[in-house]
């Protein structure tokens, strides 16, 4: 995978938005070399997007799950063209938010859940839980600063 392919795809997305800006949008990715390349970073800055990356690939699982659901349950590659992609995206957003029940929301759609929460007194509303994948490399110190401890014997061999 190369950064040039990402840049081409992002430029196509810009064109498909018919002049609408990406300013303020979040560009989330794992730490693949194509995403940390100077070419990709420069385009994200040019578009005034906010970059978002995980420290370890396993952290990306939540975003990958949503993308996988959309890709495998809603997209039929034979039916997607440059001419209809905007309409298809809007259709997918509608289905995902208005018709698909989510088990984590008590088998309600996101829209139904939002309406349910809004109907409750503030004191009765459930507290939001943000799940974070926990790993010693993430919680103890930044990955780049972590040093391995070696025994005296190992040190003398190097």
Do residues 36 and 90 share a domain?
no
Do residues 19 and 43 share a domain?
yes
Do residues 41 and 86 share a domain?
no
- Mean pLDDT of the 31-53 span: 87
Question: What single DSSP character describes residue 23?
Answer: T
Q: What kind and span of H or E run contains 113?
A: helix 110-119
Percent of the chain at pLDDT > 90 equals 14
- Where in the sequence is the domain holding 64, given as residue range(s)? 57-142
**134: confidence class by pLDDT, cuts 50, 70, 90:** low
pTM of the model: 0.46
Do residues 24 and 95 share a domain?
no
Do residues 112 and 43 share a domain?
no
Please check whether residue 47 lies inside any domain of the structure: yes
Please check whether residue 86 lies inside any domain of the structure: yes
**128: confidence class by pLDDT, cuts 50, 70, 90:** low
Do residues 46 and 63 share a domain?
no
Do residues 90 and 133 share a domain?
yes
Please check whether residue 85 lies inside any domain of the structure: yes
Please check whether residue 147 lies inside any domain of the structure: no
Q: How far is CA 79 from the centre of its chain?
A: 24
Please check whether residue 149 lies inside any domain of the structure: no
- Mean pLDDT of the 123-128 span: 83
Query: Each residue of 99-110: pLDDT tens digit?
Result: 989 898 899 998
Q: Outline where 1-75 has alpha helix (H).
A: 3-16, 38-46, 61-73
Do residues 129 and 107 share a domain?
yes
């Amino acid at each position: 995978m190369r950064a040039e392919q990402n840049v081409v795809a992002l430029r196509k997305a810009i064109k498909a938005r018919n002049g609408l800006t990406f300013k303020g949008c979040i560009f989330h990715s794992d730490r693949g070399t194509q995403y940390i390349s100077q070419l990709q970073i420069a385009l994200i800055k040019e578009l005034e997007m906010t970059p978002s990356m995980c420290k370890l690939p396993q952290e990306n699982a939540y975003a990958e799950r949503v993308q996988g659901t959309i890709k495998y349950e809603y997209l039929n590659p034979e039916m997607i063209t440059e001419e209809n992609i905007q309409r298809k995206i809007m259709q997918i957003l509608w289905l995902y938010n208005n018709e698909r029940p989510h088990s984590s929301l008590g088998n309600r759609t996101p829209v139904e859940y939002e309406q349910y929460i809004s109907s409750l007194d503030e004191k009765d509303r459930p507290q939001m839980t943000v799940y974070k994948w926990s790993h010693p490399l993430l919680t103890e110190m930044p990955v780049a600063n972590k040093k391995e401890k070696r025994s005296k014997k190992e040190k003398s061999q190097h």
